[in-house]
């Protein structure tokens, strides 16, 4: 090796040989000290002279990639912990499972689709949007799916939309321990997110631009579950303008993106809460 080659090899640390190979033979095959596989020198020319750097072994690249992925996972977990100590859901949903769902008239198809969705979740590219009357078990079914995915080791979040908007607003206060960026980023990063009770209350411009839009945008290619009491027409109107009549999703692009990424399920059950109340009334 002449001095020029030595200098060049030192100047290009990624291609340098010493960490990679046990043999430093410029012409022959070299053996990776990690996986013992043979690696062949590249045959280049530099400034008119042969230049034969040794490429980094694939196994080293793979180790580095895994290290980086683990670091990123840790970072995501840390952000998730800061932004959400736990999912935000009403108390009655904490123990909701697909296994303890009571099938009532009208809920059969929705229940069946929820179970099938869970079974094929890993292969499916679609989220699930479930709509229907208030109190008929939509949130219970989506929470059931989310719970099972969480138990299977996926990163999941179940967020009640009205409570999420409060959390996001509070994050703007001075002294808030959580930043809006962390809230949005974490919601974007989980493998499965449920936004529960979309369409409750009129949207504000802040909620649309700073919460909903960045979450939908940031979750492209990821699966999201949605529940809403509104049918699709009324949901379109909910996205259309804020409570003061100012246009938000005027051309319907955001809603289109949501619907396009979801299996749409109508839960045709009537309100269980109302039925329970009636039953109590009648003794």
Residues that bind Zn ion (CB under 5 A): 32, 34-35, 57, 59
> Which C-beta is closer to Zn ion: that of 4 or that of 63?
63
The least distance separating Zn ion from the CB of residue 58, rounded to whole angstroms, comes to: 6
> Which C-beta is closer to Zn ion: that of 20 or that of 136?
20
> Which C-beta is closer to Zn ion: that of 64 or that of 75?
64
Please, which residues have CB within 8 angstroms of residue 207's CB and are 6 or more apart in sequence? 165, 168
The least distance separating Zn ion from the CB of residue 103, rounded to whole angstroms, comes to: 55
> Which C-beta is closer to Zn ion: that of 64 or that of 256?
64
> Which C-beta is closer to Zn ion: that of 4 or that of 19?
19
* Burial (CB count <10 Å: 0-12, 13-18, 19+), residue 84: buried
> Which C-beta is closer to Zn ion: that of 35 or that of 126?
35
The least distance separating Zn ion from the CB of residue 22, rounded to whole angstroms, comes to: 11
The least distance separating Zn ion from the CB of residue 62, rounded to whole angstroms, comes to: 8
Cβ count near 23 (within 10 Å): 12
The least distance separating Zn ion from the CB of residue 63, rounded to whole angstroms, comes to: 9
The least distance separating Zn ion from the CB of residue 64, rounded to whole angstroms, comes to: 12
């Amino acid at each position: 090796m002449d001095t020029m080659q030595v200098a060049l090899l030192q100047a290009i640390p990624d291609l340098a040989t010493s960490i990679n190979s046990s043999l430093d033979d410029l012409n022959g095959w070299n053996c990776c000290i990690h996986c013992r596989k043979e690696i062949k020198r590249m045959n280049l020319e530099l400034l008119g002279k042969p230049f034969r750097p040794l490429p980094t072994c694939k196994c080293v690249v793979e180790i580095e990639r895994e290290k980086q992925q683990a670091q990123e996972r840790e970072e995501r977990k840390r952000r998730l912990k800061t932004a959400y100590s736990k999912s935000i859901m009403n108390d009655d949903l904490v123990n909701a499972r697909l296994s303890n769902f009571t099938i009532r008239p009208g809920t059969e198809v929705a229940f069946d689709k929820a179970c099938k969705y869970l079974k094929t979740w890993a292969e499916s590219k679609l989220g699930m949007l479930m709509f229907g009357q208030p109190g008929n078990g939509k949130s219970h079914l989506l929470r059931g799916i989310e719970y099972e995915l969480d138990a299977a080791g996926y990163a999941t979040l179940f967020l009640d939309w009205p409570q999420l908007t409060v959390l996001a607003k509070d994050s703007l206060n001075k002294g808030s321990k959580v930043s809006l960026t962390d809230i949005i980023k974490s919601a974007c990063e989980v493998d499965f997110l449920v936004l529960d009770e979309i369409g409750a209350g009129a949207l504000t411009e802040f909620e649309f631009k700073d919460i909903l839009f960045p979450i939908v945008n940031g979750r492209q290619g990821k699966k999201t579950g949605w529940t809403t009491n509104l049918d699709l027409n009324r949901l379109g109107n909910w996205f259309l303008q804020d409570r003061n009549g100012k246009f938000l999703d005027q051309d319907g692009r955001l809603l289109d993106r949501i619907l396009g990424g979801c299996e749409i399920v109508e839960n045709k059950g009537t309100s269980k809460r109302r039925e329970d109340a009636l039953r109590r009334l009648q003794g």
